Amino acid sequence: MKSKSTINNNVCRNGLFVASVFLIFVSAINFTNQNTITHAQSANDKGYDLNEMGGGAYVVSSTGYNSMFLVTGDGVIVVDAPPNIGDKIIDAISEVTNETVKYLVYSHAHKDHIGGAHVLPPGIEIIAQKDTSNFLKMANDTDRPLPTQIFDNETTITLGNATLQLAYGGPYHQNGNIFIYAPQHKILMAVDQFSPGGTPWKHLAATPHVPSYIQSYDQVLNYDFDDYVSGHGIGTKDDVQLEKEYVNDLKNNAGFAISNVNFTEATKNANKSNNAEVTEAYFNSMTDVCVDRTDGKWKGKLQGVGVWTDEHCEKMIISIRND
């Protein structure tokens, strides 16, 4: 594995999990009006940490969020512009190069990851998958400028000495979310897909389609990479593999619960004239079985176990029954 240095002190490679899960909620509140970009406390007085990944690749981290950029010798490629980082991206770039930004890539349409795009210099090319573009047209949000280049399944950016491959593999978190791969650097970026060192975020990363989310693990592991950059942390292929094992166990435990929880027994104390109460009692019983089996194996191995297991189990149960 290539060596790395960290500029501006320490950002944990497997870290930012605890901070990020809190700051997602903070961000959801602050991002409703982005005329003022709100910054939470950072690790240093500049408000961001700059992590050198090697070969001209850098990750800018602030308050649990990441942006990545590549210095290519012929300009800079930026991936995502979270509002809490905003113009700090330009400050970070200026630390290492005087090259100008040529491209901005949107990982997906969510405002907490691209809501600072409006502070980047005008005239740059903005690239996104077509579903992301369609979402942004409906959002009509000046903080998230519309893409200037749109693709369907895959495209490649070649600039200077760098190549960045963009691919859409299905809605693991939102329609239009993409895999961003830098082959020379052996870096894969997939935002809001996994949480290095932890379980998926709430409700299986808020995925709209659980089968696509499960499939995305193998899609990621098929890439040849050393470093995994998420929206909220930096990890390795081993982190992805471990979380895949957790999700597979979760699916098996959800299936076990569906097969073994008796409807009559689970709903015996529910008001039979209230369908909602009956349904809730049944699903609560299945969820409890799934949680007990999952937490019994995984507690202490991944952050988030025992916190979101009930949400993960319930969503997996619904998916197995419906998808």
Residues 206-247 pLDDT 10s? 899 999 999 999 999 999 999 999 988 899 999 999 999 999
CATH number for the domain including 98?
3.60.15.10
The pLDDT tens digits of the residues spanning 102-128 come to: 999 999 999 999 999 999 999 999 999
According to the model, what pLDDT value does residue 193 have?
84
According to the model, what pLDDT value does residue 79 have?
97
Based on the domain organization, do 54 and 202 belong to the same domain? yes
According to the model, what pLDDT value does residue 192 have?
86
Based on the domain organization, do 217 and 302 belong to the same domain? no
Based on the domain organization, do 136 and 206 belong to the same domain? yes
For 287, the domain range is: 246-322
Based on the domain organization, do 184 and 286 belong to the same domain? no
According to the model, what pLDDT value does residue 210 have?
94
Based on the domain organization, do 168 and 254 belong to the same domain? no
Residues 6+ apart with CB under 8 A from 47: 39, 62, 88
CA distance 132 to 117: 14
| 18 alpha carbon, distance to own chain's centre | 14
Based on the domain organization, do 11 and 160 belong to the same domain? yes
Residues 6+ apart with CB under 8 A from 286: 254, 257, 258, 261, 266, 313, 317
Residue stretches of the chain with pLDDT short of 70: 1-44
CA distance 152 to 147: 13
Based on the domain organization, do 150 and 299 belong to the same domain? no
According to the model, what pLDDT value does residue 186 have?
96
CA distance 235 to 227: 6
Based on the domain organization, do 177 and 275 belong to the same domain? no
Based on the domain organization, do 270 and 229 belong to the same domain? no
Report CA torsion sign: 156, 157, 159, 163: negative
**Helix (H, G, I), strand (E, B), or coil: what is residue 207?**
coil
Which of 203, 238, 273 delimits the end of a domain? Answer: 238
Based on the domain organization, do 262 and 213 belong to the same domain? no
Which of 175, 206, 238 delimits the end of a domain? Answer: 238
Q: How many domains does the chain have?
A: 2
Based on the domain organization, do 180 and 234 belong to the same domain? yes
Which of 173, 207, 238 delimits the end of a domain? Answer: 238
Based on the domain organization, do 130 and 222 belong to the same domain? yes
Whether the CB-CB separation of 62 and 88 falls below 8 Å is answered with: yes
User: Do the bridges between strand 101-105 and strand 125-129 make them parallel or antiparallel, or are there none, so unpaired?
Assistant: parallel
CA distance 79 to 106: 6
